């Protein structure tokens, strides 16, 4: 197994499009596999176990948040439309003053 420092150097070279030797490529792939395994183990250990009612509760909270955000987006959209209309009217007034008929 190679050191993290060497692996990071090889990774950097590979991501810059530099050619690695077959040995370097094999070392880098082995390091990737080790990193993936460690990450997977960490995810499994840190993953909380929730019962179905907790999951359902979280879904309900998320849906409520989505509903609130949707209402806010709709309010902002309505306000934007109102302001666009007001801007249009103001532009017409300015144009009348600049170019009287």
Per residue in 26-84, pLDDT tens? 999 999 999 999 998 888 777 677 888 989 999 999 999 999 999 999 999 999 999 99
Burial status of residue 28 (CB atoms within 10 A of its CB: 0-12, 13-18, 19 or more):
buried
| Statement: the pTM of the whole predicted model exceeds 0.85 | no
Greatest Cα-to-Cα distance within the chain, rounded to the nearest angstrom: 84
Mean pLDDT of 18-26: 93
């Amino acid at each position: 197994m190679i050191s993290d420092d060497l692996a990071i150097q090889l990774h950097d070279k590979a991501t810059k499009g530099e050619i690695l030797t077959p040995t370097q490529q094999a070392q880098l792939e082995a390091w990737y596999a080790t990193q993936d395994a460690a990450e997977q183990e960490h995810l499994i250990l840190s993953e909380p176990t929730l019962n179905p009612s907790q999951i359902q509760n979280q879904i309900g909270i998320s849906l409520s948040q989505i509903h609130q955000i949707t209402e806010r987006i709709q309010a902002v959209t309505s306000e934007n439309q109102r302001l666009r209309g007001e801007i249009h009217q103001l532009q017409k007034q300015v144009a009348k003053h600049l170019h009287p008929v």
